[in-house]
Copies of this chain bind each other. A is one copy, B any other.
Amino acid sequence: MPKLASQQCIDPKQHQPTENQLLKALCAEVQERLFPHLELVEMPLGKVLHESGEVLRYVYFPTDCIVSLLYVMENGASAEISVVGHDGMIGIALLMGGESTTSRALVQSAGYAYRLPGQRIKSEFNRHGELLHLMLRYSQALITQMAQTAVCNRHHSIDQQLCRWLLLSLDRLKDNHLVMTQELIANMLGVRREGVTEAAGRLHKQGVIDYSRGHIIVTDRAKLERLSCECYGVVKSETDRLLPLSRHRTESVA
């Protein structure tokens, strides 16, 4: 196993709200209303943004961190439902009107996020303009991800699921370097740690990843995509369809 550098260099000064794709997609007018209320917050690994059933006070827009939505069972076992990175937002339940969800939001990869008091975004949401439609589309992308998680859990091997999971994480990071123990991945996938070890070993043998003690580097992304099940592709293309990057002018639904 190769040696990997262990330090991360994150400079808060270089963060911009527009690093988050949802915030970026908003028109200047809405941005002007919202951005002054954004607060850049650190998102350390393991931080819990909300527990199951807890009402959120803030919504979070990740820039370079990754947050998992996961369900924790009565016996403590867990399963990841979906992943949110710079592509999305934590807290759609506030907008949906439910105020809370049955899942826990957990920082899975450290970094930063902008947060906004729940009331701020709710009042913007209730103006029924661009933000509403953007959020609805994002919700649908999230729904697709959840649906595909269900499918993948049912039908695909740990190896395939690991590939999917790595790809989803990779898409939300700046480089090909994940800070992530196998134990954590196992919790996300809802499988044994040993199962992840074996799958990772096979991926390494095939020259797709290098890893060591909580660090994973993807060395052959193309091959990773080939080894993954169809689930990754389904989620990716549907997300791209619903939320084309850059600027999509959200026309009214009707």
A interface with B by C-beta (< 8 Å): 69, 71, 73-74, 77, 79, 81-82, 93-98, 101-103, 119, 122-123, 125-126, 128, 132-133, 136-137, 139-144, 146-151, 153-155, 189-191, 230, 234, 238, 241-242, 250, 252-254
For this complex, 10 residue pairs linking A to B, each with C-beta atoms less than 8 Å apart, are A74-B230, A94-B253, A96-B137, A96-B143, A98-B241, A102-B144, A102-B147, A146-B150, A149-B150, A154-B189
Which residues of B lie under 8 Å from residue A101 when comparing CB positions? 140, 143-144
A140 & B97 in contact (Cβ 8 Å cutoff): yes
A125 & B95 in contact (Cβ 8 Å cutoff): no
Contact of A139 among B71, B77, B139, B153 (CB under 8 A): B139
What is the CA–CA distance of A151 and B125 in the complex, to the nearest angstrom?
A: 31
B93 & A147 in contact (Cβ 8 Å cutoff): no
Q: A253-B122, A254-B119 given as contacts; is B97 within 8 A of A148 (CB)? A: no
> Which B residue's beta carbon lies closest to that of A132?
B128
B151 & A81 in contact (Cβ 8 Å cutoff): yes
Rounded to whole Å, the gap between the CB of A25 and the closest CB of chain B is: 13
**Interface core residue of A101, A150, A190 (most chain B CB under 10 Å):** A150
Which residues of B lie under 8 Å from residue A126 when comparing CB positions? 252-254
Rounded to whole Å, the gap between the CB of A138 and the closest CB of chain B is: 9
Which residues of B lie under 8 Å from residue A137 when comparing CB positions? 96-98
**Interface core residue of A230, A252, A253 (most chain B CB under 10 Å):** A253
B140 & A238 in contact (Cβ 8 Å cutoff): no
Q: A73-B151, A139-B139, A153-B154 given as contacts; is B97 within 8 A of A253 (CB)? A: yes
Q: A125-B253, A154-B153, A190-B155 given as contacts; is B146 within 8 A of A143 (CB)? A: yes
Which residues of B lie under 8 Å from residue A128 when comparing CB positions? 128, 132
